[in-house]
């Protein structure tokens, strides 16, 4: 903990905006505060996207763009979560399967009838670049989404359609740009039903929620601050269900990166077949977890019953604390993004309580340094050169 926090009432700290700014030195709060505007900007910048009918990448390889039979979204970390949200949002309305690929290789089924959306905020994510080149080799319909870097370089030289998004911020803050770029690509290919009304409602709800969870809103009337206080000193354990799986994952990674704390996710109804047994273990272990339940007033009856019974019979006695986030809005997207937004702010407030600057990711940076000896990028450049040669 920072020395200037010693002796300070931690709950009072969250109502001291100036002191919080001294901890949040790189301004993660300021980035989060612009989420609704970032959504609007992303939509505006991607609205004129055009996808060509065909792209010749070499004398022997032509990519033909049309109606895909399946979609694979490739990405890692903050770049991948936009794909997971996109998949969960459209799972009940898209007539074709969507898979999010986090790794170096594409699924075996990916072929010329597969739309591959390669997302990397920095443009230098080696796993994404590996899948991008593999997708071109297989003559998939490839579209890149990035702010810069090698992905932009490769994409431009191969003649691939690209969506260039604003750079300069931590990758985890790029979710609105990546998410709405994915929407724009499917829109351009005319395979997405109109979602204008749902998107407009989601942004309006985000603006309303922002007023309720911003630093200037006191702890007594601020859900995100209350969640941070409640989770302080425990390991956040986030429970989702259905299309909130990606929201739970986003919360988990935000607690990891902004709060610098371990965090875990579990899902209803799967957890009743395994996870609940672990809660019969020693209380000194289960009491290390602070339970955070994602709730929805439109929960299926069987899920609602399962959540309530599990909370009453297991979590209330076994966990350090049990908290709930109830979704806001009517449309699926509003309910997903409003919940995500509360989690984003709560993760920053928890980081503040621990006296850590939310923005830096020292362990990721250190790990990258130790992995440079693998020279994966050199291997990818050689593969890229062979693709250009045909």
- DSSP-derived secondary structure for 232-266: TTSEEEEEEEGGGHHHHHHHHHHHHHHH----EEE
Task: Record the tokens describing residue 172, joined without a space.
Answer: 């985890």
Domains of the chain: 3-32+208-353 (3.40.50.10490), 35-193+371-389 (3.40.50.10490)
The reported pLDDT for the residue numbered 4 is 43
Count CB neighbours of 44 within 10 A. Answer: 10
Confidence at 6, pLDDT banded by 50, 70, 90: low
Residues with catalytic roles:
257, 273, 368
Residues in Cβ contact with 322 at an 8 Å cutoff, skipping those fewer than 6 apart: 291, 293, 311, 315, 316
371 pLDDT higher than 70: yes
- pLDDT, position 373: 56
pLDDT at 388: 85
- 267-271: long-range contacts (C-beta < 8 A, 24 or more apart)? 267/239, 267/240, 267/241, 268/239, 268/240, 268/241, 268/303, 268/306, 268/307, 268/310, 269/241, 269/302, 269/303, 269/306, 271/239, 271/310
- Edge-to-edge strand list for the sheet holding 235-241: 264-268, 235-241, 289-295, 321-326
Q: Is the pLDDT of residue 197 over 50?
A: yes
Rounded to a whole number of angstroms, the distance between the first and last alpha carbons of the chain is 56
Banded pLDDT at 1 (limits 50, 70, 90): very low
What is the reported pTM? Answer: 0.94
Mean pLDDT value of segment 239-256: 98
What would the mean pLDDT of 12-18 be, rounded to a whole number? 94
Measured between alpha carbons, how far is residue 65 from residues 17, 143, 160, 259, 333 in Å? Answer: 51, 10, 11, 42, 28
Summarised one tens digit per residue, pLDDT across range 151-187 is: 999 999 999 999 999 998 999 999 999 999 999 999 9
9 confidence band (pLDDT: 50, 70, 90):
low
Identify the residue whose tokens are 């994966």: 376
The CA distance from 365 to 385, in Å, is 28
pLDDT score at 155: 97
- 58: tokens are 């070499």
In sequence order, the β-bridge partners of residue 381 are none
Which residues make beta-bridge pairs with 98?
Answer: 71
Task: Give the Cα separation of 145 and 79 in Å (integer).
Answer: 9
Mean pLDDT value across the chain: 94
For 294-332, the pLDDT digits (tens) are 999 999 999 999 999 999 999 999 999 999 999 999 999
Reported confidence tier of residue 267, pLDDT bands at 50, 70, 90: very high
pLDDT over 70 at 257, yes or no: yes
Q: Using CA atoms, how far apart are residues 6 and 20, in angstroms rounded to an integer?
A: 14
74 backbone dihedrals φ, ψ, rounded to 5° = -105, 135
């Amino acid at each position: 903990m920072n020395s200037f926090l010693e002796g300070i009432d931690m709950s009072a700290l969250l109502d001291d905006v100036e002191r919080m700014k001294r901890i949040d030195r790189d301004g993660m709060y300021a980035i989060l505060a612009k989420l609704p505007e970032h959504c609007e900007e992303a939509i505006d910048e991607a609205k004129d996207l055009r996808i060509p009918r065909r792209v010749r990448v070499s004398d022997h390889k032509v990519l033909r763009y049309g109606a895909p039979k399946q979609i694979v979204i490739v990405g890692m970390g903050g770049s991948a979560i936009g794909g997971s949200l996109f998949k969960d949002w459209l799972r009940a309305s898209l007539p074709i399967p969507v898979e999010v690929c986090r790794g170096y290789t594409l699924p075996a089924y990916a072929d010329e009838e597969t739309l591959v959306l390669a997302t990397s905020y920095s443009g230098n994510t080696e796993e994404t670049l590996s899948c991008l080149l593999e997708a071109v080799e297989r003559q998939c319909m490839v579209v890149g989404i990035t702010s810069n870097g090698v992905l932009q370089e490769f994409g431009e030289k191969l003649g691939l359609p690209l969506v260039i998004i604003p750079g300069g911020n931590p990758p985890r803050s790029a979710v609105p740009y990546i998410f709405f770029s994915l929407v724009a690509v499917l829109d351009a290919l005319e395979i997405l039903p109109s979602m204008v009304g749902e998107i407009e409602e989601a942004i309006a709800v985000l603006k309303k929620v922002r007023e309720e969870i911003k630093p200037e809103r006191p702890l007594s009337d601020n859900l995100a601050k209350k969640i941070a206080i409640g989770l302080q000193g425990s390991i956040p354990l986030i429970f989702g269900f259905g299309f909130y799986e990606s929201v739970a994952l986003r919360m988990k990674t935000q607690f990891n990166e902004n709060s610098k704390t371990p965090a875990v996710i579990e899902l209803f109804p799967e957890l009743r077949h395994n996870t609940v047994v672990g809660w019969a273990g020693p209380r000194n272990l289960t009491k290390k977890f602070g339970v955070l339940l994602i709730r929805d007033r439109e929960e299926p009856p069987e899920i609602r019953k399962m959540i309530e019974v599990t909370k009453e019979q297991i979590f209330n006695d076994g966990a350090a604390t049990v908290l709930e986030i109830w979704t806001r809005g009517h449309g699926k997207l509003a309910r997903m993004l409003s919940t995500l937004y509360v989690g984003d702010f709560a993760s920053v407030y928890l980081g503040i309580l621990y006296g850590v600057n939310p923005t830096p990711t020292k362990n990721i940076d250190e790990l990258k340094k130790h992995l440079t000896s693998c020279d994966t990028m050199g291997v990818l450049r050689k593969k890229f050169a062979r693709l250009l040669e045909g």
